[in-house]
Amino acid sequence: MKKSWPPFNFSAGPAMLPKEVMEKAQSEFLNWNGTGLSIMDLSHREDAFIGIVEKAEADLRQLLSIPNDYAVLFCAGGASFHFSQIPLNFLKNKAAYVDSGIWGNKAVKEAQKYGKVDACSVLKDVNGKWQIEDESNWIFESSDQYDYVHFTPNETIGGVEFLQNPEFGRGKWVADMSSNILSKPINITDYGMIYAGAQKNIGPAGLSIVIVKKEWLESGANPLTPSLLDYRVLAENQSMYNTPPTYSWYLAGLVFDWIINQGGISVMEDRASKRSNTLYQFIDNSDFYRNPIAFSCRSRMNIPFTLKDESVNDRFLKQAHEAGLVALKGHRSVGGMRASLYNAMPEAGVSALVEFMQWFEMKNG
């Protein structure tokens, strides 16, 4: 009989939040800080809530060393809103889009509605493994020609991560960091803007975070931009031009606080390497499982894998679920399996997954 575990959730997002965060949130769900009130009920204009958001921003600034000439915004909705907002706010002449997968491509499609976009698909199949092509082969004009250069540091569906950033466009990068923000140190000044949906490394779905160079807000958005999609409007109103998603914002603050207490971003980076290496090594040493990504750009966050015999996929997923290893199904557009290993995933989750995969291989190999 196979082993089972208390559930470990490998969902790509909404994804598991740190156990300590969830326990704290539950304990104060009906009674925050002895007030007898829930944070969920509290007006966003109450001093208590203002205190929460000020601490959340300060903690995020500390974690990512965000300089003062960058604004931090907390927005309703996920990263996909920004696919429209970015061109509406910043596309004046022409923009470059580095397309490394499904999400990068969605950003391209949306931007094309609003102006001139040069897009380059950089993911190549090299001997059966997906690889980000060397940037010397990317087809773009000189980066001076572009208002910004958009790229996707980690492709959640494909499992492709820029382990080393490109040089092209440094300083005017706009990066969709939805699935790898807070998992390694970044040099903010290389970016004009960073954005991330919350539901992977930050908090619950329905919130996104923007870090944007204040200077970029000066020239103003396209006049047809909905007010709530105008970054300057959001910045001028401290992300409260309208009622913000208060509970998600509070939870994001708990997550930032948790990361600080765990030791900060470098600890998150070490753990991410360790978790992903454990799983990649196991997969690489197996003839039964396969990861389709080249070593140079394997995601530390989202690890897709296939079985030698695809007809046993469903059995794998069913038995994994019975063993307490849930949400391992690959994205519907690519199939197979995917294990998402964000900051909140404990090492024990990866060990359990490897142990199960060994057992399953033994039974089915």
The CB-of-361 to its own copies minimum distance in angstroms stands at: 26
Q: Minimum distance from CB of 147 to its own copies (Å)? A: 18
Active site residues: 103, 176, 200
Cα separation, 112 vs 118, whole angstroms: 9
User: How far is Cα 361 from Cα 56, in angstroms, rounded to an integer?
Assistant: 45
Q: How far is the C-alpha of 342 from the C-alpha of 15, rounded, in Å? A: 8
Give min distance, CB of 205 to its own copies, in A. 5
- Asked whether position 333 contacts its own copies by CB under 8 A, the answer is no
- Decide if residue 287 touches its own copies (CB under 8 A): no
91-130 footprint of its own copies as x/- string (CB under 8 A): -------------------x--xx----------------
Q: How many whole angstroms separate alpha carbon 361 and alpha carbon 71?
A: 50
Minimum CB–partner distance for residue 358 and its own copies (Å)? 23
DSSP code per residue over 55-74: HHHHHHHHHHT--TTEEEEE
Identify which of residues 23 and 54 has a Cβ nearer to its own copies in the complex.
23
| Contact between residue 32 and residue 350 where contact means Cβ atoms under 8 Å apart | no
Near its own copies by CB under 8 A: residue from 52, 64, 72, 78: 78
Residue 259 touches its own copies, criterion: CB under 8 A: no
Residue 247 in the binding site for its own copies (CB under 8 A):
yes
CB of residue 245 to its own copies, shortest distance in Å: 3
Residue 88 within binding range of its own copies, rule CB under 8 A: yes
| DSSP result, 259-303 | HHHHT-HHHHHHHHHHHHHHHHHHHHT-SSEE--B-GGGB-SSEE
Residues 106, 118: Cα–Cα separation, whole Å:
14
Which residue intervals of the chain are DSSP H helices? 19-27, 47-64, 80-90, 102-111, 231-236, 246-262, 265-284, 313-322, 347-364
Q: Which is nearer to its own copies, 8 or 130 (CB)?
A: 8
Residue 224 touches its own copies, criterion: CB under 8 A: yes
Q: Examine residue 237 and tell whether it contacts its own copies (CB under 8 A).
A: no
Q: Which is nearer to its own copies, 228 or 260 (CB)?
A: 228
| Contacts (CB under 8 A) with its own copies, residues 191-210 | 197, 199, 204-207
Shortest Å distance, C-beta 5 to its own copies:
10
Q: Using CB under 8 A, which of 243, 261, 266, 277 touches its own copies?
A: 243
| Per-residue tokens: 221 | 């958005």
Q: Which is nearer to its own copies, 88 or 96 (CB)?
A: 88
Please choose, from the candidates 357, 344, 360, 352, the residue with its C-alpha nearest in 3D space to the C-alpha of residue 15. 344
Check if the beta carbon of residue 144 is closer than 8 Å to that of residue 169: no
Q: How many CA atoms lie within 13 A of 258 on its CB side?
A: 22
Kindly list the residues in this chain that would bind its own copies in the complex (CB under 8 A). Answer: 6-7, 9, 11-17, 22-23, 25-26, 29-30, 35-38, 40-46, 76-81, 83-85, 88, 110, 113-114, 197, 199, 204-207, 223-224, 226-229, 241-248, 324, 326-327, 332
